[in-house]
Structure 1
Amino acid sequence: MNIEIRNAYEKNLKHIHVEIPRNQLTVITGLSGSGKTTLLKDTLYMEAQRQYLETMSYQGIQKPKVGEIRNLSPAVIIDQEDRNENPRSTLGTQTDMYTDLRMIFEKLHHRECPNCKAEISASDSIEETEKINEKFTVYMYCPKCQYRMDKLTRSNFSFNTKEGACPTCNGLGKSLVIKNNLYQKDKTIVDGGVAIWAKTYAEYQLKAYYALLRYLEIEIPQDVPLGDFTDEQFEILKQGIHSNMISNQQKKTLPTKVLEGKYEGVEPKIWRKIADKKSVPSSLKDYVEEGICPDCHGEKLNKLSRSATVLNQRLPEIEKWDLHRLLDWIKQIDQNTDDQKRALIQDYLLDLSTKIERISKVGLDYLSLNRPYTTLSGGEAQRLKLAAILDSQMTELIIILDEPTIGLHPSDTEGLISMIKKLKERGNTIITIEHDEEFIKHADSLVLH
């Protein structure tokens, strides 16, 4: 029984008819612009989604321009789009392998006792949980001097939490610096002195800035370029009510309305926007530059969290390793941990090993867990999705891939083909756009389009 596509005329398709065998690997190849992606993604995939959702009474997906498609089943698409643009997202967080490492560190970490300075192990320490103001806090006692301290939990090993993140860079590993081009010293405020302020907005901010100067009894620089401001006037312009030039006593009675003098300042407003967006907005990228955080040196965690060790290795160091080296370390833990401690972490070791071995089969074991997800190529991201789908034991799916060999070394193509064959053996239908001759040799059927 084949998947039958009848009279497809979406976009550049010319009322075509195609039959694709089920439970086989079919490769669609041909010239660029011939409509391969339109056929699979905009027609076959969208119609499979529409029919599937309508069986559950979900309406609203527009039918693609096709007469009919017979013998469909639920479809998934693994392409080079749909990228995670969160700057905090890494290979480790995206695959959840970083969570496994955090759990291992929670159970097995070594740290220095803040009282007697002895090295102590979390797994050898007595724990105590106390409820304070509706919040549970876990403590541990030093086995050497019985000093009670906060236990480092999984939250302490995450750069995305307040407990774990470096307080200087908030877990980004980077520090941001205002560039000199933000201020045009030869211009007045309303004529472009603050480069990110449009004229109307500049006039609005100018009123608030003048109001704050009046409140502080500082002379107002009327219609003069920024280069002629006094140090005091320029500092208030930059930092507003947050300026160190305003005494603590004055800050207690500052105006509460913007036009009365609650002027935020150019730079605090920039930092607030970046914090809200969790990234630098495109409108600010020309005026803010990144550097390595001076406190954590790019390791993202706070001092205590980044100093803890398992098998004499710190978590930020492990994150930098390629996956092949990480797998070796996992095996060392398994070999060098007694049965009682291994029982605490065996599920996390198994999950890490399984995921690394799958990723290795698609030729990506050179990646590290700290690799920002936004820096992966389209081909790398697609092969990671393909590795992830092997977790599923579902059958009778239609799995669509878009040139999965892009960026793949020829020696790794065999591992990719092996994974695809396993998906096919489970009773799934694999359809891929591909031009690689070695890959095409393994197709059960070929469609030239």
Structure 2
Amino acid sequence: MKDSKEYIEVYGAREHNLKNINVKIPRNELVVITGLSGSGKSSLAFDTIFAEGQRRYIETFSAYARQFLGGLERPDVDKIDGLSPVIAIEQKTTSKNPRSTVGTVTELYDFLRLLFARVSDAYSLTSGKKLVSYTEEQILHAIQNNYKNEKVMLLAPVVRSRKGHYHELFVQMAKKGYGQARIDGEIRELEYNLKLDRYKTHDIDIVIDRWIIGEASSESRMEKSLSTALQMGDGIIGIQKLDSDHIEYFSRNLMDAESGHSLALPEPNTFSFNSPKGSCFYCKGLGTVKKVNTDYFVENPKLSINQGGLLPLEDIKSNKWILSQSKNILEIFGLSLSTPMKDIPKEALDYIYNGCHKEFNKDLKYAGVNKKIKISFDGLVPMINELIDDKDSYDAVLLERHFTTEENCPECKGTRLQPSSLSFKIADKNIAEVSAMSLSDFMVWLVEIEDQFSNKNKIIAHEILKELRTRLQFLLDVGLEYLSLSRSTRTLSGGESQRIRLATQIGSQLVNVLYILDEPSIGLHQRDNERLINSLKNLRDIGNSVLVVEHDKDMILEANEVLDVGPRAGKFGGEVLWQGKPADLLKADTITADYLTGKR
């Protein structure tokens, strides 16, 4: 007989409909609790065993910490012995956080970001050419080889496509001894009164030096000037032949020598939509934006604006200005605020919704004159957008809830990332394209790309790829090959969320833990169910106890031990009718046994 330490022993469980039951559950085995719905399975597994495990865990915290966590009531049970640390994996949505994806909750995206930061290649956003980076020594050798015996000018780019008059910059450069700059493609003297049009965008390169490449006396001078130019140009310099307008750029960062497009060397945060370094500037890494939908403005077209027919006005407290402008617009069309919404023409509604800045002629028949009316109204939609941007406003909450829809971000197209983050590719795919693959295709990609790496990159990527494949295989083993890393966790079913947590727990390689699962087989194809059972066995075999509330026949028959709870639901249940090996259950006189043998 097994020692008592090898069991989880429950004495006097009376939670909900449990009838003062005593039960011994073997540790380090796969145990299924089955029975009719409402018979008390979850009351035993979750509301008694898990609740007590959670209570004991919180009891280990200091009194100071417990006051923030809140106390957990002791379940209605006399005693539970042999209880390990407990983790419950229930069927509920993983997270309502809009930033949470399959990739982030499984940490696969973290390793993918690391992979792209270490072995990806960068490509120009403008030309599509591969970007290259140089050391200072390489830049010097390239200049000497490419421009032998040529007269060239060394440039340090200091302004790129920015507005301003830059008077202070020119004065500062002149004081340092620089006499010329290439401004918008033209070489100009750095005079004291030099100012540019502040409302136009400009490109400015400071002329650092002029060389005749190949002269022995200029070698040391070139090195000094090059170092100065790289420092001033933030790691970028340009070389222009004196008899040409063409500039070739060199950079310590990644750069397109033709266009001058430059990127900083990537870091893991470059690919994070939760970091300012990687997230889309427009949607802030959410991948979606809220857009005002005018289809929601009118619910009952028979009502007029005065009768509340234009719904947003009901949620905007300070709507008198909007009403007065709407009245003016309607009067131009011979209508009023009492006109039913269905009788207002599209043009008038467009002015009210999207704004009107026009001058109209209006006949005042009673006065026999023609009067000009000037309307300057931004429109209801822009005003709602402005109010929604004010997150602290109560109006904003109501307006966003009632009159907006969620759409893909028009800038990042739902990828959540900046264009520069998408410039880095592995095997012709950027990180957003890889994240959009199904997990099964992602595994194929991970296997194939290693053959395309250089020997150096193979060494760098080896451990990262190994971790990615291992974690990914756990997800495939629980039947989630159709998901993608970019899938928002808000769109997952309870079963999918549960299996993701199960795969994560298997990957964590924890031991001596009691895992409690709630019907993990729901919605699974037969093939996937077999893989799920194998995953639970894997969890058991590494040194854990697995307790599953389940109705599935295959799961019951594959268990080490079965508890049959019943006999009926509600107050007619709450008893352990039978406990033992699955093969012996087939001979028992219970509803579950009849179901397994096909008698019912």
Q: Which amino acid aligns with 2:107?
A: D
Residue 89 (str. 1) matches residue 100 (str. 2): yes
5 Å-filtered alignment, 1:4-403, equals 4-57=9-62, 58=66, 60-113=71-124, 117=127, 119-121=129-131, 140-142=253-255, 144=257, 147=260, 149-151=262-264, 153=266, 154-167=268-281, 169-170=283-284, 171-173=286-288, 176-183=291-298, 187=303, 189=305, 191-196=307-312, 198=314, 202=316, 204-207=317-320, 209=322, 245=357, 268-269=383-384, 273=388, 287-403=403-519
CA contact (8 A) 1:5 1:18 kept: yes
CA distance in 1, matches of 2:501, 2:231: 40
Q: 1:274 to 1:424 in 2, by over 3 A?
A: farther
How many Å apart are 1:422 and its aligned residue?
A: 2.7
CA distance in 1, matches of 2:498, 2:325: 54
How many Å apart are 1:195 and its aligned residue?
A: 1.7
How many Å apart are 1:112 and its aligned residue?
A: 3.7
TM-score by length of 2: 0.59
How many Å apart are 1:236 and its aligned residue?
A: 8.6
Offset from partner CA, 1:10-39 (integer Å, 9 cap, x none): 222232222211222111000001121121
Q: 1:382 to 1:181 in 2, by over 3 A?
A: closer
Structure 2, unaligned runs of 5 or more? 137-229, 235-250, 359-377, 566-600
How many Å apart are 1:191 and its aligned residue?
A: 3.4
How many Å apart are 1:293 and its aligned residue?
A: 4.6
SS in 2 for 1:309: strand
How many Å apart are 1:295 and its aligned residue?
A: 4.7
Residue 421 (str. 1) matches residue 537 (str. 2): yes
CA distance in 1, matches of 2:390, 2:552: 44
CA distance in 1, matches of 2:356, 2:465: 50
CA contact (8 A) 2:92 2:495 kept: no
Q: 1:38 to 1:120 in 2, by over 3 A?
A: same
How many Å apart are 1:141 and its aligned residue?
A: 4.2
Structure 1, unaligned runs of 5 or more? 133-137, 247-262
How many Å apart are 1:233 and its aligned residue?
A: 9.6
TM-score by length of 1: 0.77
Q: Which amino acid aligns with 1:206?
A: N
CA distance in 2, matches of 1:289, 1:365: 30
SS in 2 for 1:192: coil
CA distance in 1, matches of 2:397, 2:470: 38
SS in 1 for 2:522: coil
CA distance in 2, matches of 1:180, 1:412: 43
CA distance in 2, matches of 1:272, 1:284: 9
Q: 1:360 to 1:208 in 2, by over 3 A?
A: same
How many Å apart are 1:389 and its aligned residue?
A: 0.6
CA distance in 1, matches of 2:520, 2:398: 31
How many Å apart are 1:63 and its aligned residue?
A: 0.9
How many Å apart are 1:402 and its aligned residue?
A: 0.7
Q: 1:159 to 1:52 in 2, by over 3 A?
A: closer
Q: Which amino acid aligns with 1:68?
A: K
CA contact (8 A) 2:84 2:513 kept: yes
Offset from partner CA, 1:398-446 (integer Å, 9 cap, x none): 1101111112222233332222223223332111111111111221211
CA contact (8 A) 2:279 2:417 kept: yes
CA contact (8 A) 2:32 2:562 kept: yes
Offset from partner CA, 1:330-375 (integer Å, 9 cap, x none): 2222222123223443343222111111111112122222222222
SS in 2 for 1:88: coil
How many Å apart are 1:317 and its aligned residue?
A: 2.2
CA contact (8 A) 2:292 2:385 kept: no
CA contact (8 A) 2:92 2:493 kept: no
CA distance in 2, matches of 1:358, 1:27: 22
Q: Equivalent residue for 1:251? A: none
Q: Which amino acid aligns with 2:255?
A: C
| Range 338-347 or range 23-32, more displaced | 338-347
How many Å apart are 1:196 and its aligned residue?
A: 4.5
Residue 446 (str. 1) matches residue 562 (str. 2): yes
How many Å apart are 1:40 and its aligned residue?
A: 1.2
- The number of residue pairs the alignment matches comes to 420
CA contact (8 A) 1:49 1:75 kept: yes
CA distance in 1, matches of 2:112, 2:404: 33
Q: Which amino acid aligns with 2:129?
A: E
Q: 1:383 to 1:97 in 2, by over 3 A?
A: same
CA contact (8 A) 2:279 2:416 kept: yes
Question: Highest CA radius of gyration, 1 or 2?
Answer: 2
| Range 299-308 or range 310-319, more displaced | 299-308
How many Å apart are 1:52 and its aligned residue?
A: 2.4
Q: 1:112 to 1:285 in 2, by over 3 A?
A: same
Q: Which amino acid aligns with 1:119?
A: K
Q: 1:432 to 1:172 in 2, by over 3 A?
A: same
CA distance in 2, matches of 1:360, 1:103: 22
CA distance in 2, matches of 1:152, 1:368: 27
Say what the alpha-carbon RMSD is for the aligned residues.
4.3
How many Å apart are 1:91 and its aligned residue?
A: 1.2
